[in-house]
Structure 1
């Protein structure tokens, strides 16, 4: 997809996803899952004018004039879970949340390497940790209620904001997992 074919909302989601990735990167590697709510800035400022005092002047002006600008709000106090599936099935988003973003770290192996892993989960985890071809990656996946998605992937071996892979549906499983929460009837709003 070229820059010219992206809708304004998709460009805004891309910008927000990359901002979240840079924010998460400031905390270093070996981080837990982090979840963010996404909200349209104009509506958020209209509902909570006090937010304007917390924003830099350039963001404030952008939020007022561009209806696609998104605010990301990190969700603290997440439930203790072992998997992404457990997390997304336990989160309830109110109607004024327009989307969500999830940051996770994973180990990636070259094609075929996973077939040589032990069947025992503990042994497989140890083998992953010590595999010579492993790549540690941070993935930030964002979705909106309206269906748009964007992903950002940073490899630990190339830990540079200029080398973040970015695209609309790079991690389909995570995109679909986050979308479940915004499907009609999936979660009840507060």
Structure 2
């Protein structure tokens, strides 16, 4: 197995690890961005981290500075990663609506702020923490935890627009 495919295979578990790390601080967290760097390279450059990192993990998430307030898409569009970063993961809290409620909210009829307000006030809304992780080579994984449930939903298709925006940070 090549290093690239092992990174892609390990990405779902890494997304779960990032979610657990953020979950330890509780809910109502700001958007958080992590660089995914090769663990072996990180240990080579900083051997003093040996006791803190899982040497068996292909990639290590490294928390980045806070993103600016405002439009997430605009903030992501301004990011360019150095070659040493092989991927990234973004964690954000979102509101999830049932499909029938989303169908009633026609985006073409409303501005974005009005849609956010309607979603926040919807009686069937659920709060969730979403983690989207991508690799420079194209791999992606997503996990989502609903605020009132312990189960973790998994699948790369959970946030296609977000994963596309994260992939764009590598072009």
TM-score tier (shorter): 0.7 to 0.9
Query: Which of 59, 69, 72 in structure 1 is aligned with 2:61?
Result: 72
2-side partners of 1:82 and 1:154: how far apart? Answer: 24
Could you tell me which residue of structure 2 aligns to residue 151 of structure 1?
142
Deviation at 1:153, TM superposition (A): 0.7
Deviation at 1:25, TM superposition (A): 1.0
Could you tell me which residue of structure 1 aligns to residue 167 of structure 2?
179
Q: Deviations over 1:16-64 (max 9, x none)?
A: 11000011111222221100000010111112222224x16xx24x25x
CA contact (8 A) 1:39 1:72 kept: yes
**Is 1:100 equivalent to 2:88 in the alignment?**
yes
RMSD of the alignment, in Å?
2.1
Question: Secondary structure at 2:50's aligned position in 1?
Answer: helix
2-side partners of 1:72 and 1:122: how far apart? Answer: 32
Could you tell me which residue of structure 2 aligns to residue 3 of structure 1?
none
1:38-57 alignment to 2 at 5 Å? 38-53=36-51, 55=52
Q: TM-score, normalised by structure 2?
A: 0.85
1-side partners of 2:112 and 2:85: how far apart? Answer: 37
Q: TM-score, normalised by structure 1?
A: 0.77
1-side partners of 2:132 and 2:163: how far apart? Answer: 6
How many residue pairs get aligned? The number is 164
**Is 1:165 equivalent to 2:153 in the alignment?**
yes
Q: Deviations over 1:110-132 (max 9, x none)?
A: 22324545836555444322211
CA contact (8 A) 1:149 1:169 kept: no
Deviation at 1:157, TM superposition (A): 2.2
* Structure 2: stretches of 5+ with no match in the other structure: none
Question: Secondary structure at 2:20's aligned position in 1?
Answer: helix
**Is 1:14 equivalent to 2:2 in the alignment?**
no
Question: Secondary structure at 1:169's aligned position in 2?
Answer: helix
